[in-house]
Structure 1
Amino acid sequence: MRFPLNSCRKARRCHRRNRGLRCRTKASGEMLKHLRVLIHERIMLPITASNAPVAQLSWGVAVGMFVGLTPTMGVQMYLAAMIWAVSRYILQFPFNLPVAVALVWITNPITVVPIYYVFLATGSLLLQNGEALNYAHFAESFGRIAALESAWDSIVEGTRFLLVDLGWPMVVGGLAYAIPGAILGYFLTFRFVTRHRRQKAAAANMGYEQWQAINEVMH
């Protein structure tokens, strides 16, 4: 029995499409798995393993969340450290620096392009700045900057692209998420860490205040 030529061609095209879909699905699954590991190791572990007071941890999350949701990738850890130094030594209001530095990893090599594009689109909408740069062009520009051999050149070029070329839409869009993100991060962390430590105190047959007195250390 002979099949029509068109049917064979359609079958081959369908097979190629299905194979491509399976490859993309597998790649997406691997990326999500890597992202989950990154979040667990870079963000969750520093919070749960810390013995700092709950308020210091919560403020650390708030600062890290704020910095991480601004278009400053490449210098975010330095910014968090500068804010900590001012807060600790000038304002006499310490927060947990390791947690703040960990939280800036919200924007990481996997998430930075889609997150920053959301900033740009949001800022353009809020400022009524016309149509934002399309995603493909944005991702291509970011990829070109990331491919520069010198890390310093990447930071300088990336900063120029985000804050000069794209300008206010990027800044306003980032702040639209950074401010509520920091507030939400503070309260969620306070609640999560308090509950986590109460569970640890109960497991040790201690009252929560007693557990705090023994285990919490000011930083």
Structure 2
Amino acid sequence: MLDAVRIRWRAMRRRGHVWLRSHPRAHALLHSTGSLHGSPEAIARGVAVGLLIGLTPTVGIQTVLMIALCVLVAGNFPAAFAISWVSNPLTLAPMVWAFHELGEVLLSPWASLLARGDVWYLRGAGDDILCTAAGSLAVAIPAAIAGYFIAHVLSQRWHSRRLRRLRSQGSIDSDV
């Protein structure tokens, strides 16, 4: 089980490295802004960004949005890129449907107010877009917050274990 996870993680890292090599400007931007740092804080921010973008129906511009947000919050872009695969071609359609249904439930109390007002009068596709956006944000924001805290704890544990292992092997000084 653990070997399968390691293999998947390496494959995902490889895909990320290939993407960064094929986009040298993005790589330079991410490197100069600290979005490729591996500290627990940067990884946690990257996971939050990846969940926030991955759980919204922004197919086609997800990578651009992740780069922008990672640069803005100094989040780890590879972590964001990896976790954004929560919305992949197999899960996207059910997720968008669920977001729309949740958005309808959330916005139904205000539907009569929106329909009466002259400023906010939406019909057809406008209603669908608004419901889907509201539903996706209702899921994405709490998931991003929870993902941040979980990733921060897990990455701190991973870093401390790695540091202990390197110290025991004599690879680094015990002062670090």
Whether the TM-score (by the shorter chain) exceeds 0.5 is: yes
1:103-160 C-alpha deviation (Å, 9 max, x unpaired): 221101111111111111111111128xxxxxxxxxxxxxxxxxxxxxxxxxxxxxxx
Q: 1:72 to 1:164 in 2, by over 3 A?
A: farther
Q: What residue is the counterpart of 2:60 in the other structure?
A: 74
Q: How far off its partner does 1:51 sit?
A: 6.0
Look up the match of 1:193: 155
Gaps of 5+ in 2: 17-35, 110-124
Counterpart Cα distance in 1 of 2:7 and 2:104: 30
1:201 positional shift: 2.0
Q: Distance in 2 between matches of 1:204 and 1:51?
A: 19
2:142 is the counterpart of 1:168: no
Name the structure 2 match of 1:120.
100
Amino acid at match of 1:126: L
Residue segments in structure 1 that go unaligned for 5+ positions in a row: 1-35, 88-92, 130-162, 215-219
Shift of 1:61: 0.7
Contact 2:40-2:159 at 8 Å conserved across structures: no
Matches within 5 A, 1:11-30: none
Equivalences for residues 103-182 of structure 1 within 5 A: 103-128=83-108, 164=126, 166-182=128-144
Amino acid at match of 1:107: S
Q: Distance in 1 between matches of 2:137 and 2:7?
A: 24
Q: TM-score, normalised by structure 2?
A: 0.63
Residue 204 (structure 1) aligns with: 166
The answer to whether the Cα contact below 8 Å between 1:68 and 1:103 also exists between their aligned partners in 2 is yes
Q: Between the two proteins, what is the percent identity of the paired residues? A: 30
SS of the residue corresponding to residue 167 of structure 1 reads: helix
What amino acid does structure 2 have at the position aligned with 1:205? R
CA separation of 1:168/1:39 partners in 2, compared to 1, >3 Å: closer, same or farther?
A: farther
CA contact (8 A) 2:50 2:82 kept: yes
* Structure 1 residue 98, shift from structure 2 partner: 2.0
Classify 1:68/1:37 alpha carbon distance in 2 versus 1 (closer, same or farther; 3 Å). Answer: farther
Distance 1:121 1:194, change over 3 A: same
Indicate the residue corresponding to 1:55 in structure 2. Answer: 41
1:64 equivalenced with 2:64 (yes/no): no
2:128 alignment partner AA: L
